[in-house]
Structure 1
């Protein structure tokens, strides 16, 4: 366990390797889950505000689901989450026609400069999951056993630790100083092996 400020990270975050392999998984993390992507309360407000701007990036059937369910829903276990279509695919997703890869409509709008919100932090940090405790956050590495096998293989082949693959999202969530501290700790841990 690694402790930095109020954040407790599992050793797997620095010891395991991971690099998304979209050609193999086809963005399955947006399709298959217990519920939609977890959202912070702040993110629910942001998404509600930007929804009119991202609506055009989404398939009509997903827009219909958002109109029916709302821009977010409540899950008994995870709290605020993105709505899903028939308990499966996230309604903010779309499928690229030429590749069959499922991607995020919010992120596409962000890349196009239409909105300044990239996507929910829980999506950006995947396969890291954060659990809130009493005054602390638990950060765990939780790839899906079958879906993420290609990403685990690619990470090992390229020798990219999870925390390095997720450098941008970790800095977005916790800041540059946090990441620099984590990197220094990881170098010590991985160097001692």
Structure 2
């Protein structure tokens, strides 16, 4: 593990390569899984506030799920997540464009309708954060549906932490990211 400020970063984020390849996977990570996207507590209020603004961008099935369960839910593990269509299928905030998933929240952000980009857990994937009172642990989540992203990342020689530079800066700040890069550089030279 690499210590960066109040985080521990697993070495797999430096060693492993990853670049999303939506032409191959079609964004299946937004459709598969046992529950919705993990949410931070503050994101619950954001989803409640922006729902009226983004509702028109959602698929009818997504609207039905949100209106039945709420803009966020507690999953079977007791975690706060986005609601899913039919209980555990696609995220309620998913839209489809040319057979590829697109987050309606992110789409609204791109159009200037909302300031919030999307849940940080989605933006950071395949990094998953385990939060403790004094620090966060950042791990690489291996999922077979992302094999094309691993292959593409190896072809392009892009480590996970570099692919996710923007989301990592969004979460922890530019100073944190610069410290991570410095730690990686020093580790490579030793």
Shorter-chain TM band? over 0.9
Partners in 1 of 2:76 and 2:59 — Cα distance?
A: 27
* Separation in 2, partners of 1:11, 1:190: 12
Runs of 4+ residues deviating >4 angstroms: none
Residue 175 of structure 2 corresponds to 177
Pairwise CA distance, 1:75 = 1.8
Local SS of the residue matching 1:148: helix
8 Å CA contact 1:44, 1:71 repeated in 2:
yes
Distance of 1:108 and 1:190 partners within structure 2: 38
Equivalent residue, structure 2, for 1:128: 127
- Extract unaligned runs of 5+ from structure 2: none
In 2, the alpha carbon distance for the partners of 1:27 and 1:78 equals 26
1:134 CA drift (Å): 3.5
Residues 137 and 76 from structure 1, CA distance in 2 versus in 1: closer, same or farther, beyond 3 angstroms?
A: farther
Q: Deviations over 1:83-142 (max 9, x none)?
A: 00121100000111x2x1011000000000000000000000000000112411110011
Compared with structure 1, are the counterparts of its residues 119 and 62 closer, same or farther at alpha carbon in structure 2 (3 Å cutoff)?
A: same
Partner of 1:160: 158
Alignment pair present for 1:30 and 2:30: yes
| TM-score, normalised via structure 2 length | 0.96
Aligned length: 189
Partner of 2:51: 51
The Cα of 1:143 is off from its aligned counterpart by 2.8
Q: Is the 8 A contact 1:38 1:78 kept in 2?
A: no
TM-score by length of 1: 0.94
Q: Does 1:2 align with 2:6?
A: no
1:78–1:154 CA distance, 2 compared to 1 (3 A) = farther
Mapped to 1, the partners of 2:78 and 2:168 lie a distance apart of: 20
Distance 2:159 2:149 in 1: 11
In structure 1, C-alpha distance between the alignment counterparts of 2:167 and 2:118, rounded to whole Å: 10
- Give the Cα separation in 1 of the matches to 2:148 and 2:124: 18
Q: What is the root-mean-square deviation of aligned Cα atoms in Å?
A: 1.1
